[in-house]
Protein backbone atom coordinates (compact mmCIF):
# COMPACT_ATOMS: atom_id res chain seq x y z
CA UNK A 1 0.00 0.00 0.00
CA UNK A 2 1.43 3.39 -0.94
CA UNK A 3 2.08 6.00 1.73
CA UNK A 4 -0.83 8.28 0.84
CA UNK A 5 -3.36 5.41 0.82
CA UNK A 6 -2.02 4.31 4.22
CA UNK A 7 -2.36 7.82 5.65
CA UNK A 8 -5.84 8.10 4.14
CA UNK A 9 -6.89 4.75 5.69
CA UNK A 10 -5.59 5.81 9.11
CA UNK A 11 -7.43 9.11 8.85
CA UNK A 12 -10.61 7.22 7.87
CA UNK A 13 -10.46 5.20 11.10
CA UNK A 14 -9.91 8.34 13.13
CA UNK A 15 -13.11 9.93 11.77
CA UNK A 16 -15.36 6.95 12.45
CA UNK A 17 -15.02 4.77 9.36
CA UNK A 18 -15.42 1.07 10.23
CA UNK A 19 -14.86 -0.33 6.73
CA UNK A 20 -12.84 1.15 3.89
CA UNK A 21 -12.49 -0.50 0.49
CA UNK A 22 -10.88 0.86 -2.65
CA UNK A 23 -11.73 -0.38 -6.14
CA UNK A 24 -9.78 0.81 -9.18
CA UNK A 25 -12.21 2.13 -11.78
CA UNK A 26 -11.22 -0.74 -14.10
CA UNK A 27 -13.07 -3.16 -11.80
CA UNK A 28 -16.34 -1.59 -13.02
CA UNK A 29 -15.75 -2.75 -16.60
CA UNK A 30 -18.99 -4.09 -18.07
CA UNK A 31 -21.32 -1.98 -15.91
CA UNK A 32 -23.78 -0.08 -18.10
CA UNK A 33 -23.37 3.73 -18.30
CA UNK A 34 -26.62 4.27 -16.36
CA UNK A 35 -24.92 2.74 -13.31
CA UNK A 36 -21.24 3.41 -13.96
CA UNK A 37 -19.22 5.68 -11.61
CA UNK A 38 -17.34 7.08 -14.64
CA UNK A 39 -20.59 8.52 -15.98
CA UNK A 40 -20.58 10.76 -12.88
CA UNK A 41 -16.86 11.53 -12.77
CA UNK A 42 -15.14 10.55 -16.03
CA UNK A 43 -11.66 11.18 -14.56
CA UNK A 44 -12.28 8.90 -11.53
CA UNK A 45 -9.42 6.51 -10.90
CA UNK A 46 -10.65 5.00 -7.62
CA UNK A 47 -14.02 4.18 -6.10
CA UNK A 48 -13.87 4.31 -2.31
CA UNK A 49 -16.57 2.50 -0.35
CA UNK A 50 -16.98 3.86 3.17
CA UNK A 51 -18.80 1.64 5.68
CA UNK A 52 -20.12 2.18 9.16
CA UNK A 53 -21.46 -0.61 11.31
CA UNK A 54 -24.99 -0.97 12.57
CA UNK A 55 -24.32 -1.73 16.20
CA UNK A 56 -25.82 -5.03 17.33
CA UNK A 57 -27.58 -3.26 20.16
CA UNK A 58 -29.47 -1.14 17.63
CA UNK A 59 -31.33 -4.33 16.74
CA UNK A 60 -32.21 -5.22 20.33
CA UNK A 61 -35.52 -3.38 20.56
CA UNK A 62 -36.70 -4.96 17.29
CA UNK A 63 -35.57 -8.39 18.46
CA UNK A 64 -37.62 -7.99 21.62
CA UNK A 65 -40.51 -6.35 19.74
CA UNK A 66 -40.56 -3.47 22.21
CA UNK A 67 -38.59 -0.56 20.68
CA UNK A 68 -38.36 0.12 16.95
CA UNK A 69 -37.21 3.76 16.94
CA UNK A 70 -33.69 2.99 18.10
CA UNK A 71 -32.99 0.91 14.99
CA UNK A 72 -34.72 3.42 12.77
CA UNK A 73 -32.45 6.21 14.03
CA UNK A 74 -29.14 4.58 14.95
CA UNK A 75 -29.34 1.75 12.40
CA UNK A 76 -30.84 3.60 9.47
CA UNK A 77 -31.67 7.32 9.21
CA UNK A 78 -29.21 8.96 11.60
CA UNK A 79 -26.58 6.38 10.75
CA UNK A 80 -26.75 7.40 7.09
CA UNK A 81 -27.75 11.05 7.30
CA UNK A 82 -25.61 12.12 10.24
CA UNK A 83 -22.79 9.78 11.22
CA UNK A 84 -21.84 8.20 7.88
CA UNK A 85 -22.41 11.35 5.86
CA UNK A 86 -20.10 13.34 8.16
CA UNK A 87 -17.41 10.65 8.02
CA UNK A 88 -17.64 10.53 4.22
CA UNK A 89 -17.48 14.29 3.85
CA UNK A 90 -14.40 14.43 6.06
CA UNK A 91 -12.75 11.83 3.83
CA UNK A 92 -13.68 13.81 0.73
CA UNK A 93 -12.21 16.94 2.34
CA UNK A 94 -9.03 15.05 3.20
CA UNK A 95 -8.62 14.04 -0.43
CA UNK A 96 -9.27 17.58 -1.66
CA UNK A 97 -6.83 19.00 0.92
CA UNK A 98 -4.31 16.78 -0.85
CA UNK A 99 -5.20 18.07 -4.34
CA UNK A 100 -7.47 15.17 -5.41
CA UNK A 101 -11.06 15.81 -6.39
CA UNK A 102 -13.57 13.74 -4.39
CA UNK A 103 -17.25 13.16 -5.19
CA UNK A 104 -19.22 12.01 -2.13
CA UNK A 105 -22.10 9.71 -3.06
CA UNK A 106 -25.24 8.83 -1.15
CA UNK A 107 -26.77 5.32 -1.44
CA UNK A 108 -29.88 5.64 -3.61
CA UNK A 109 -31.73 2.61 -4.98
CA UNK A 110 -30.74 1.71 -8.54
CA UNK A 111 -34.36 0.78 -9.22
CA UNK A 112 -35.24 4.49 -9.54
CA UNK A 113 -36.01 5.35 -13.17
CA UNK A 114 -34.05 8.10 -14.97
CA UNK A 115 -35.37 11.55 -14.10
CA UNK A 116 -34.35 13.53 -17.17
CA UNK A 117 -32.86 13.35 -20.65
CA UNK A 118 -29.17 13.07 -21.66
CA UNK A 119 -27.55 16.52 -21.74
CA UNK A 120 -25.24 15.58 -24.59
CA UNK A 121 -25.03 12.72 -27.13
CA UNK A 122 -23.54 9.58 -25.62
CA UNK A 123 -24.38 10.49 -22.03
CA UNK A 124 -26.82 8.41 -19.98
CA UNK A 125 -29.84 10.30 -18.63
CA UNK A 126 -29.66 11.70 -15.10
CA UNK A 127 -29.57 10.49 -12.44
CA UNK A 128 -26.86 7.86 -12.76
CA UNK A 129 -27.16 5.50 -9.78
CA UNK A 130 -24.37 3.19 -8.66
CA UNK A 131 -25.17 -0.10 -6.92
CA UNK A 132 -23.40 0.27 -3.55
CA UNK A 133 -23.52 -3.40 -2.55
CA UNK A 134 -22.02 -4.33 -5.91
CA UNK A 135 -19.36 -1.64 -5.45
CA UNK A 136 -18.55 -2.91 -1.95
CA UNK A 137 -17.76 -6.34 -3.42
CA UNK A 138 -15.59 -4.72 -6.10
CA UNK A 139 -13.88 -2.73 -3.33
CA UNK A 140 -12.95 -5.92 -1.46
CA UNK A 141 -15.18 -5.47 1.59
CA UNK A 142 -17.00 -8.80 1.40
CA UNK A 143 -19.66 -10.59 -0.61
CA UNK A 144 -23.36 -10.80 -1.41
CA UNK A 145 -24.80 -13.36 1.03
CA UNK A 146 -27.34 -16.07 0.27
CA UNK A 147 -30.17 -13.77 1.37
CA UNK A 148 -29.08 -11.11 -1.17
CA UNK A 149 -27.67 -8.61 1.30
CA UNK A 150 -24.06 -7.53 1.44
CA UNK A 151 -22.09 -9.27 4.19
CA UNK A 152 -18.66 -8.32 5.53
CA UNK A 153 -16.32 -10.54 7.56
CA UNK A 154 -16.49 -7.96 10.36
CA UNK A 155 -20.21 -7.36 10.79
CA UNK A 156 -22.14 -9.73 8.51
CA UNK A 157 -25.08 -7.70 7.17
CA UNK A 158 -24.74 -4.98 9.85
CA UNK A 159 -23.33 -2.01 7.95
CA UNK A 160 -24.29 0.84 5.66
CA UNK A 161 -22.26 2.43 2.91
CA UNK A 162 -21.40 5.76 1.32
CA UNK A 163 -19.04 6.11 -1.61
CA UNK A 164 -16.43 8.57 -2.84
CA UNK A 165 -15.27 8.83 -6.44
CA UNK A 166 -11.83 10.32 -6.78
CA UNK A 167 -9.11 10.93 -9.33
CA UNK A 168 -6.56 9.87 -6.70
CA UNK A 169 -4.79 6.69 -7.88
CA UNK A 170 -5.08 4.93 -4.50
CA UNK A 171 -3.78 1.42 -3.81
CA UNK A 172 -6.71 -0.96 -4.44
CA UNK A 173 -8.08 -3.36 -1.85
CA UNK A 174 -8.03 -6.91 -3.28
CA UNK A 175 -11.42 -8.53 -3.97
CA UNK A 176 -12.21 -10.66 -0.92
CA UNK A 177 -11.67 -14.40 -1.18
CA UNK A 178 -13.21 -15.12 2.23
CA UNK A 179 -16.41 -17.17 2.45
CA UNK A 180 -18.50 -15.45 5.10
CA UNK A 181 -21.91 -16.87 4.24
CA UNK A 182 -22.25 -20.66 4.20
CA UNK A 183 -25.17 -20.38 1.72
CA UNK A 184 -27.42 -22.99 3.25
CA UNK A 185 -30.86 -23.62 1.74
CA UNK A 186 -31.96 -23.91 5.39
CA UNK A 187 -31.92 -20.10 5.57
CA UNK A 188 -35.29 -20.03 3.84
CA UNK A 189 -36.86 -21.05 7.15
CA UNK A 190 -35.87 -17.63 8.55
CA UNK A 191 -38.78 -16.00 6.70
CA UNK A 192 -42.22 -16.62 8.20
CA UNK A 193 -43.89 -15.31 5.02
CA UNK A 194 -42.19 -17.73 2.65
CA UNK A 195 -40.48 -14.95 0.70
CA UNK A 196 -37.15 -16.82 0.50
CA UNK A 197 -37.16 -19.58 -2.12
CA UNK A 198 -34.15 -21.88 -2.08
CA UNK A 199 -35.50 -23.90 -5.00
CA UNK A 200 -34.79 -20.92 -7.25
CA UNK A 201 -31.14 -20.19 -6.53
CA UNK A 202 -28.97 -18.24 -8.93
CA UNK A 203 -25.29 -17.39 -9.13
CA UNK A 204 -24.28 -13.72 -9.09
CA UNK A 205 -20.88 -12.79 -10.41
CA UNK A 206 -19.15 -9.53 -9.46
CA UNK A 207 -15.53 -8.79 -10.36
CA UNK A 208 -14.98 -12.52 -10.96
CA UNK A 209 -16.42 -13.49 -7.56
CA UNK A 210 -19.25 -16.02 -7.87
CA UNK A 211 -21.94 -16.05 -5.17
CA UNK A 212 -24.96 -18.37 -4.92
CA UNK A 213 -28.08 -16.53 -3.77
CA UNK A 214 -31.69 -17.51 -3.10
CA UNK A 215 -34.69 -16.02 -4.84
CA UNK A 216 -36.56 -13.52 -2.69
CA UNK A 217 -40.08 -12.24 -3.32
CA UNK A 218 -39.60 -8.58 -2.41
CA UNK A 219 -43.35 -7.95 -2.77
CA UNK A 220 -43.75 -9.98 0.43
CA UNK A 221 -40.91 -8.04 2.08
CA UNK A 222 -42.77 -4.80 1.29
CA UNK A 223 -45.69 -6.12 3.35
CA UNK A 224 -43.53 -7.66 6.07
CA UNK A 225 -44.28 -6.61 9.65
CA UNK A 226 -41.33 -8.49 11.15
CA UNK A 227 -38.90 -5.58 11.35
CA UNK A 228 -38.65 -4.74 7.62
CA UNK A 229 -38.96 -1.06 6.68
CA UNK A 230 -40.02 0.45 3.35
CA UNK A 231 -37.22 1.96 1.30
CA UNK A 232 -37.13 5.53 2.55
CA UNK A 233 -35.57 6.94 -0.61
CA UNK A 234 -37.99 5.67 -3.24
CA UNK A 235 -40.95 3.29 -3.30
CA UNK A 236 -39.39 1.34 -6.19
CA UNK A 237 -36.33 0.49 -4.06
CA UNK A 238 -36.06 -2.78 -2.14
CA UNK A 239 -37.31 -2.56 1.44
CA UNK A 240 -34.77 -2.33 4.23
CA UNK A 241 -34.54 -5.86 5.67
CA UNK A 242 -31.52 -5.47 7.95
CA UNK A 243 -33.60 -5.55 11.13
CA UNK A 244 -36.20 -8.07 9.90
CA UNK A 245 -36.47 -11.46 11.55
CA UNK A 246 -34.82 -13.14 8.53
CA UNK A 247 -31.66 -11.07 8.86
CA UNK A 248 -31.56 -11.22 12.66
CA UNK A 249 -31.80 -15.02 12.46
CA UNK A 250 -29.10 -15.01 9.78
CA UNK A 251 -26.89 -12.88 12.04
CA UNK A 252 -27.45 -15.30 14.94
CA UNK A 253 -26.38 -18.15 12.63
CA UNK A 254 -23.22 -16.39 11.39
CA UNK A 255 -22.24 -15.44 14.93
CA UNK A 256 -22.79 -18.98 16.18
CA UNK A 257 -20.65 -20.36 13.37
CA UNK A 258 -17.87 -17.95 14.37
CA UNK A 259 -17.89 -16.38 10.89
CA UNK A 260 -17.85 -12.75 12.08
CA UNK A 261 -14.93 -10.83 13.56
CA UNK A 262 -17.08 -8.51 15.68
CA UNK A 263 -17.64 -10.81 18.68
CA UNK A 264 -19.71 -10.47 21.86
CA UNK A 265 -19.62 -11.88 25.36
CA UNK A 266 -23.24 -13.05 25.14
CA UNK A 267 -25.37 -14.52 22.34
CA UNK A 268 -27.83 -12.17 20.66
CA UNK A 269 -30.86 -14.45 20.84
CA UNK A 270 -31.84 -16.10 24.09
CA UNK A 271 -35.61 -16.31 23.51
CA UNK A 272 -37.59 -17.46 20.46
CA UNK A 273 -38.10 -14.60 18.01
CA UNK A 274 -41.55 -13.11 17.55
CA UNK A 275 -43.14 -13.24 14.12
CA UNK A 276 -46.19 -11.74 12.47
CA UNK A 277 -47.63 -13.82 9.66
CA UNK A 278 -50.21 -11.39 8.30
CA UNK A 279 -51.71 -8.02 9.22
CA UNK A 280 -54.26 -9.81 11.36
CA UNK A 281 -52.28 -12.50 13.10
CA UNK A 282 -51.18 -11.85 16.63
CA UNK A 283 -47.52 -12.06 17.51
CA UNK A 284 -46.39 -15.55 18.16
CA UNK A 285 -43.13 -17.17 19.14
CA UNK A 286 -42.23 -18.88 15.88
CA UNK A 287 -38.54 -19.07 15.09
CA UNK A 288 -36.39 -21.49 16.92
CA UNK A 289 -33.53 -20.00 18.86
CA UNK A 290 -30.96 -20.62 16.18
S1 LIG B 1 -38.07 -9.02 5.12
FE2 LIG B 1 -39.78 -10.17 5.97
S3 LIG B 1 -40.78 -11.09 4.17
FE4 LIG B 1 -38.76 -10.41 3.51
S5 LIG B 1 -37.46 -12.23 3.71
FE6 LIG B 1 -37.29 -11.05 5.62
S7 LIG B 1 -38.81 -11.89 7.05
FE8 LIG B 1 -39.31 -12.56 4.95
pLDDT of res. 279: 59
Contact between 275 and 283 (Cβ < 8 Å): yes
pLDDT of res. 236: 86
pLDDT of res. 282: 46
pLDDT of res. 65: 95
pLDDT of res. 114: 87
Residues having CB closer than 6 A to ligand 1 are 191, 193, 195-196, 216, 220-221, 224, 226, 228, 241, 244-246
pLDDT of res. 280: 55
Q: What is the pTM of this model?
A: 0.94
The ligand 1 atom at the shortest distance from the C-alpha of residue 196 is 5
Which parts of the chain sit beneath pLDDT 50?
282, 285-289
Residue 182 CA to ligand 1 centre (angstroms):
19
Q: DSSP letter string over the chain?
A: --HHHHHHHHHHHHTT-SEEEEEEGGGGTT--GGG-HHHH-TT--EEEEEEEE--GGGGHHHHHTS--HHIIIIIIIHIIIIIIHHHHHHHHHHHHHTT--EEEE----TTSPP-S--SSTTPPPSPP---HHHHHHHTTS-EE-TTSSEEBTTTBT-EEEEEEEES--PPPPPPP--------GGGGGG-TT--EEEEEEEEEEETTEEEEEEEE-HHHHHH--SS-B--SS-TTSPPB-TTSHHHHHHHHHHHHHT--SS--SS-S--SPPEE--SSSSPPEE-S---
What span, in angstroms and rounded, lies between the C-alpha atoms of 273 and 190?
Answer: 10
Residue 243 CA to ligand 1 centre (angstroms):
10
Amino acid sequence: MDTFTKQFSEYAKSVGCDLLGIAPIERFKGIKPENHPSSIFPEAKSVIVVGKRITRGSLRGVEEGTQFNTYHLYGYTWLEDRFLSVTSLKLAEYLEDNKWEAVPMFNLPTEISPMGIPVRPGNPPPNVLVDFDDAAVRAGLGEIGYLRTFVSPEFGARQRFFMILTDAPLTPTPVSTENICDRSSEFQKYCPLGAIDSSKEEVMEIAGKKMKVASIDFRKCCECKNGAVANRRHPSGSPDRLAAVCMRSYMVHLEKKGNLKNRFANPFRTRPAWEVLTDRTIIEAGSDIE
